[in-house]
Amino acid sequence: PRYVARQELSHVLMKVETHNHPTAISPHPGASTGAGGEIRDEGATGRGSRPKAGLTGFSVSNLNLPGTSEAWEALAYGKPEHIASPLQIMIDGPLGGAAFNNEFGRPNLGGYFRVYEQTVDGQRRGYHKPIMIAGGLGQISASQTKKVAFPAGTLLIQLGGPGMRIGMGGSAASSMAAGANTAELDFDSVQRGNPEIQRRAQEVINHCWGLGEANPILAIHDVGAGGISNAFPELVDGAGRGARFDLSKVPLEEGGLAPKEIWCNESQERYVLAISPDTLPIFDAMCQRERCPYAVIGTATEELRLVLADGEQGQGSHGTPIDMPMDVLLGKPPRMHRDVQRVERTLQPADLTGLSLDKLAFDVLRHPTVASKRFLITIGDRAVGGLSHRDQMVGPWQVPVADCAITLADYSGLRGEAMSMGERTPLAVANAPAAGRMAVAEAITNLLAAPIELPRVKLSCNWMAACGEPGEDAALYDTVKAVGMELCPALGISVPVGKDSLSMRTRWSEGGEGKQVTAPVSLIVTAFATLEDIRGALTPQLRAEGDTTLILIDLGRGRNRLAGSVLTQVTNQYGDAVPDLDDPELLKNLVAAISNLRTQGKLLAYHDRSDGGLWAAVCEMAFAGHVGVSLNVDILVTEGDGIEDSRAEYGDSKNWARQVGERRNELTLKALFNEELGAVIQVPTNVRNEVIQTLREYGLSKYSHFIGKPNDRGVVEVWRDAKSVFSAPLADLHQAWDDVSWRIARLRDNPACADSEHAAAGAQDDPGLHLQLSFDPAENVAAPFLNLTKPKVAILREQGVNSHLEMAYAMAAAGFEAYDVHMSDLQSGRARLDQFQGAVACGGFSYGDTLGAGEGWARSVLFNPKLAEAFAAFFNRADTFTLGVCNGCQMLAALSPIIPGAQDWPKFTRNKSEQFEARLSLVEVLKSPSIFLGGMEGSRIPIVVSHGEGFADFSQRGNAKAVHAAMRYVDNKGQPTEAYPANPNGSPGGLTAVTTADGRFTALMPHPERVFRNAQMSWTSGEITEFSPWQRMFRNARRWVG
């Protein structure tokens, strides 16, 4: 089929769910299938839809990282033997979630990470049973949103992988206290992920809904908890039908399964569909093309009964295991009533006496909740699909501080979507409703980095609690009431979706003693909003140029409540009064004020205040901007305004100096480390009074303060009473903030690479990414040919490839007619290479990379005489060209024996970091014969990198001395490099693209097709509305064709 752009009304869909229990038992598959299940929800909406971008979050107990002795981890509490440790979870869990997203082909653009464990009021609190949350947004055509109430006789189909004896009782096990079940049953309840087959199934779904009204899918449902025993009945119940199923038709991977195991296993990567018998042939053709298994399992019936028989008439050995009325299975159960009591906690104020700012400044930055999250981010693809605008990495130094993700609605316009997460769960130990309000508010202050309008915001609420524990049910009730019935109506925003997990406790025995860790009531809020225009999005990156001022907008209105803060955690305290959103109007006014200032063009940077308080927010802004900051806290430590409240600062006369000094120190710590709601903005100094006037119009000026300025001395310093009370090099603070990521990376990845990246974090002499061009990117070298014929280019893909859409658009925008050519099309004869003038092998995970990256794809050519001959003939035509990107690069390298002039190309193998690398890297275009890179030589341009096997290995194939190099990694000073992470895979000389002597064949590991617009770049100095310099590659190809 030919790729064609079309305009249509599409809606944004959103979903967030947890996978806590499986992640506690087996973190990698638990998190992997958590991500996969949420992705299926996005694809199984209405009559079919498309997942677009994801979020991932984790809450765990103390990490106890080897080689550290943190004060907050001094009193170890233990855990059940068969439950993974928090450190195991945070090493393996993120890899599992990232691997599924990467291989399926969905960018992960945001999330959160919290570490919390402490004893409060005699009770051990924490996340031995972790939170693993997966969420995201997708798109659905307006014509496909409603499922069809299908008639009797409709075919009921399972699409996707086979059933296995895995995930047995997963949903039931998830509802138990962690550690309470037997180890054998717990491990039986964990599922396994296979993202490659889910990719295949999603391609079938995409083809179906792409037909519009001719879509053969009448209704679709994902298979999750309960397996097909839940999915099929819900599918037919939605149409008001019964159903008859044939147990023997269910595809299985293994024999000997009992009927309950066949019907109830939670094997992943499956969907159930309703399809009319007359459209089965076209559906079958789509599945055959994608090599996606499916089976007709049953038919809808008029009689509202659920019948499961072994054979059409139950003649098989298992007879008829199920024959029951539908309303018995899916009828409304009686409402549960609970008689619960509130529990009053006895809490003491935080004691700040004698605490040193010099020590706390570093301790807070080093706490995992505040510290850099880069170890979670660089393992996850953030650009696949070509519709990412804002990911977690910010600025020329790619610092992970963005709390708001932004996607593009399409490949040409500037509409988009924004999403963010918010949670403040430690506050719930003392005041669960306040924690709920703060979670909603934090999600919105995070989202406010995007140009949102509050009425467009929708929330997903994921509720978690240890129901049954004294006071927890009442706390949950109070929080739901506070958020759902009071705060959200006051803000004018809705909560259309959410889920719950109500067994958030871990129980076990140790030495004959019963032990328990109980999570606080935990509300994780995910906020979504559609954007009319992505321009105007802000980041925390401080601007070093010009005279600027930092302004704190304090929605806590000077209360400086400390309970539940990271400050109290690192000092082994809790506190008494927690931060709260005392008046919803404050938050509404903040949104309105920031929106107004954004429209006026007066904002240079924006960051919300959250974990770690003002101190963490300002440090993160400084890290992102690679610039020092001078803070003055005088206005923040003044008690009273001298008129209405004239509290004086004096003490006993004989200790006056000591008491005043200690009081000032305490006030300074409160000002810097309280985690009240608020935001820090950077504005030009010459308009700062106008900014305050705008804030005054929204009732915010009384608690908005000038707090400092950037400095060019590379230090972060705090001034009070006309003297410096703290000063430290920015690089030292950055190193402390990076410590957790470094230590986890050392355990998980190649330690040498982890050391190299940590050493580079915050380096003062790093000039950052830059753009140096030897050509004018605005010049369209293909323009003279655009009104002529459009040459045909085959966008080649194999099962598991996931970067074909953005490639097709980039080629079409350059003047080609792009065709979707699956390898099965070539194998069956539906398409032939001699019909095309160009071919592009796209990125992804062909065959799941199980034979080595790109190797399986290449062998499907080399081991098929007919295809090998066709490819060789195509390659030998003088008028053809071929481009291979990432997985396509690996595939072309494996085909080098039949590509003229490619005999010196290397084999691409495992990255030296031993990890998947997703980065915005700087490359230099070399002088080479490549038709794609003509006129670009000497340019240095940032480009997206997303691969696990990009090391150019000449020991296995090729000739490093003779190869035609076309592109190489350079450091931020422009020098070719093998140093990590500037060179993400360690290739010799920085090599990352090769070509042939005639230039018709080019293979490169980075992804130009994902950044052909400046709007797709995580950082660029280019104009956001324009094509990026990388579009020149595709235009060069069109010019070469002539």
Q: Give the 3-state secondary structure of 814-856.
A: CCCEEEEEEHHHHHHCCCCHHHCCEEEECCECHHHHCCCCCHH
Q: Return the pLDDT at 735.
A: 98
Domain coverage including residue 863: 783-1041
Do the Cβ atoms of 558 and 637 come closer than 8 Å?
A: no
Share of the chain above pLDDT 70, in %: 96
CATH number of the domain that residue 271 is part of: 3.90.650.10
Query: Does residue 647 surpass a pLDDT of 80?
Result: no
Q: Return the pLDDT at 651.
A: 34
The continuous run of DSSP H or E covering 125 comes out as: strand 123-126
Closest by CA position to 191, among listed 221, 235, 222, 227: 227
Query: Does residue 181 surpass a pLDDT of 70?
Result: no
Taking the C-alpha atoms of residue 1026 and residue 423, their distance in angstroms, rounded to an integer, is: 37
Share of the chain above pLDDT 90, in %: 89
Query: Is 653 contained in some domain?
Result: no
Residues marked active site are found at: 886, 1007, 1009
Q: Return the pLDDT at 187.
A: 62
- 791-816 mean pLDDT: 97
pLDDT grade for 788, boundaries at 50, 70 and 90: confident
Interacting residues of 47 by C-beta distance below 8 A, sequence separation 6+: 144, 145, 146, 147, 148, 208, 209, 215, 217, 218, 219, 220
The continuous run of DSSP H or E covering 326 comes out as: helix 326-330
Question: Cα torsion at 774, 777, 783, 785 (round to 10°)?
Answer: 60
Query: Is 282 contained in some domain?
Result: yes
Do the Cβ atoms of 37 and 22 come closer than 8 Å?
A: no
Query: Is 948 contained in some domain?
Result: yes
Q: Return the pLDDT at 849.
A: 85
Token pair for 108? 């992960």
Q: Return the pLDDT at 652.
A: 38
pLDDT grade for 351, boundaries at 50, 70 and 90: very high
Closest by CA position to 853, among listed 829, 889, 810, 812: 889
Query: Is 288 contained in some domain?
Result: yes
Q: Return the pLDDT at 654.
A: 35
Query: Does residue 743 surpass a pLDDT of 80?
Result: yes
Task: Please count the structural domains in the chain.
Answer: 2
Q: Return the pLDDT at 182.
A: 61
Query: Is 278 contained in some domain?
Result: yes
Q: Per-residue pLDDT tens for 371-392?
A: 999 999 999 999 999 999 999 9
Token pair for 458? 């929708």
DSSP letters spanning 622-633: HHHHT-EEEEE-
pLDDT grade for 704, boundaries at 50, 70 and 90: very high
Query: Does residue 723 surpass a pLDDT of 50?
Result: yes
Closest by CA position to 987, among listed 1020, 1019, 1017, 945: 945
pLDDT grade for 598, boundaries at 50, 70 and 90: very high
pLDDT grade for 335, boundaries at 50, 70 and 90: confident
**Average pLDDT taken over every residue of the chain:** 94
Q: How many CA atoms lie within 13 A of 414 on its CB side?
A: 15
The continuous run of DSSP H or E covering 38 comes out as: helix 27-43
Which contacts (CB < 8 Å, 24+ apart) does range 332-338 have? 338/473
Q: Return the pLDDT at 183.
A: 63
DSSP letters spanning 454-512: GGG-EEEEEEE-BTTSTTHHHHHHHHHIIIIIIIHHHHT-EEEEEEEE-B-EEEEEETT
Do the Cβ atoms of 297 and 249 come closer than 8 Å?
A: yes
Cis before 984? omega within 30: no
pLDDT grade for 338, boundaries at 50, 70 and 90: confident
Taking the C-alpha atoms of residue 341 and residue 675, their distance in angstroms, rounded to an integer, is: 29
Q: Return the pLDDT at 59.
A: 98
Taking the C-alpha atoms of residue 212 and residue 371, their distance in angstroms, rounded to an integer, is: 47
Query: Is 334 contained in some domain?
Result: no
Token pair for 628? 């020092």
pLDDT grade for 786, boundaries at 50, 70 and 90: confident
- 172-178 mean pLDDT: 59
Per-residue buried b or exposed e for 958-994, using 16+ beta carbons within 10 Å of the residue's own CB:
bebeebbbbbbbbbbeeebbbbbbbbbbbbeebbbbb
Token pair for 293? 């298994």
CATH number of the domain that residue 941 is part of: 3.40.50.880
Q: Return the pLDDT at 642.
A: 45
Taking the C-alpha atoms of residue 1027 and residue 788, their distance in angstroms, rounded to an integer, is: 22
Maximum separation of any 2 CA atoms in the chain, in Å: 98
Closest by CA position to 885, among listed 994, 765, 787: 994
Residues written for the chain:
1042
Query: Does residue 229 surpass a pLDDT of 80?
Result: yes
Taking the C-alpha atoms of residue 18 and residue 408, their distance in angstroms, rounded to an integer, is: 26
- Percent of the chain as helix, strand, coil, to the nearest 5: 35, 25, 40
- 16-35 mean pLDDT: 94
Do the Cβ atoms of 205 and 21 come closer than 8 Å?
A: no
- 621-641 mean pLDDT: 91
Query: Does residue 636 surpass a pLDDT of 80?
Result: yes
Taking the C-alpha atoms of residue 45 and residue 1008, their distance in angstroms, rounded to an integer, is: 32
Query: Is 193 contained in some domain?
Result: yes
Q: Return the pLDDT at 310.
A: 93
Residue at a domain's end among 268, 301, 320: 320
Q: Return the pLDDT at 38.
A: 96
φ/ψ of 39, rounded to 5, equals: -60, -40
Instruction: State whether residue 740 is helix, strand or coil.
Output: helix
pTM tops 0.75: yes
Q: Return the pLDDT at 103.
A: 96
Do the Cβ atoms of 414 and 446 come closer than 8 Å?
A: no
Beta strands in 651-741 (DSSP E): 678-684, 704-711, 715-720, 723-729
Interacting residues of 255 by C-beta distance below 8 A, sequence separation 6+: none
pLDDT grade for 447, boundaries at 50, 70 and 90: very high
User: Which of these ranges, 48-62, 157-171, 394-408, has the smallest mean pLDDT?
Assistant: 157-171
User: Which of these ranges, 414-418, 486-490, 642-646, 1029-1033, has the smallest mean pLDDT?
Assistant: 642-646
Q: Return the pLDDT at 496.
A: 83
User: Which of these ranges, 311-325, 441-455, 982-996, has the smallest mean pLDDT?
Assistant: 311-325
Query: Looking at this protein, which amino acid is placed at residue 1016?
Result: Q
Taking the C-alpha atoms of residue 447 and residue 425, their distance in angstroms, rounded to an integer, is: 19
Taking the C-alpha atoms of residue 569 and residue 582, their distance in angstroms, rounded to an integer, is: 24
Looking up tokens 């000077």 gives: 558
Query: Is 825 contained in some domain?
Result: yes
Number of Cβ atoms within 10 Å of the Cβ of 933: 24
Residue at a domain's end among 320, 336, 362: 320
Query: Does residue 648 surpass a pLDDT of 50?
Result: no
Q: Per-residue pLDDT tens for 116-147?
A: 999 999 999 999 999 999 999 999 999 999 99
pLDDT grade for 174, boundaries at 50, 70 and 90: low
Q: Return the pLDDT at 775.
A: 98
Query: Does residue 221 surpass a pLDDT of 60?
Result: yes
Taking the C-alpha atoms of residue 1012 and residue 1029, their distance in angstroms, rounded to an integer, is: 7
DSSP letters spanning 73-119: GSS-----TTSPPHHHHHHHHHHHHHHHHHHHT--EEEEEEEE-EEE
What's the distance, CA 251 to chain centroid? 32
Question: DSSP secondary-structure letter at 651?
Answer: -
pLDDT grade for 314, boundaries at 50, 70 and 90: confident
Question: DSSP secondary-structure letter at 980?
Answer: T
Q: Per-residue pLDDT tens for 940-964?
A: 999 999 999 999 999 999 999 999 9
Query: Looking at this protein, which amino acid is placed at residue 366?
Result: R
Residue at a domain's end among 320, 346, 366: 320
Taking the C-alpha atoms of residue 97 and residue 28, their distance in angstroms, rounded to an integer, is: 7
Query: Does residue 656 surpass a pLDDT of 90?
Result: no
